[in-house]
Amino acid sequence: MPKYHNDATLPIPLFPGSHMVIDDDYVFLSGLTAEDIQGGETILGNIAEETRLVMRSIQRMLVSAGCGMSDVVRVDVHITNLELIRDMDAAYAEFFDSRCYPARTCTQSPRLYGSAHVEITVMARRPAEAENEEREKDSDSEDSSDT
């Protein structure tokens, strides 16, 4: 059964959706921009810094779901100007092992939320131990609710 989570460090989504959906096998993160992150407005306009800020938040959110960047299997990147892809790519690549990049799509989207220049969406495969821990938590909470 999927679980729907909103990250406590991010504003509640303005759209009808969740920041993160976790099922038995995968973690799905909604698109994230620097505009979505407190303090992100200070770096708007620098696509490399926006990318780093977003990727650090994605990394933190994945850890909260029992995953790491090595578990990421798919990424969608939207940038406002494909002329800036090399700057975005350099910052993006810092977060992955160069031999194990996830599958990725990058598109030019002329307008993103607020004044952001990059939006990143991620899908990660949950490691077996994360699934087992989640099942144990669910079992423990069911046991405690039975008393």
- Given a cut of 60, whether residue 117 has pLDDT beyond it is yes
Reduce the DSSP state of residue 82 to 3 states and report it.
helix
Is pLDDT above 70 for 133? no
Residue 102 and residue 69 in contact, taking contact as beta carbons nearer than 8 Å: no
Question: Contact at 8 Å (CB) between 52 and 58?
Answer: no
pLDDT given for residue 98 in this prediction:
87
Q: Would you state the torsion angle of the CA atoms of residues 82, 86, 89, 90, taken in this order, to the nearest 10 degrees?
A: -160
- Percentage of residues in the chain having pLDDT higher than 70: 87
Please tell me the predicted confidence (pLDDT) of residue 88: 97
Backbone angles phi, psi at 7, to 5 degrees: -70, 130
What is the reported pTM? 0.85
With contact defined as beta carbons under 8 Å apart, do 74 and 123 qualify? yes
pLDDT, greater one: 128 or 142: 128
**Dihedral over alpha carbons 53, 130, 136, 11 (to 10 degrees):** 20
Q: CA-CA distance, 96 to 76, in Å (whole number)? A: 15
- Give mean pLDDT, residues 10-20: 87
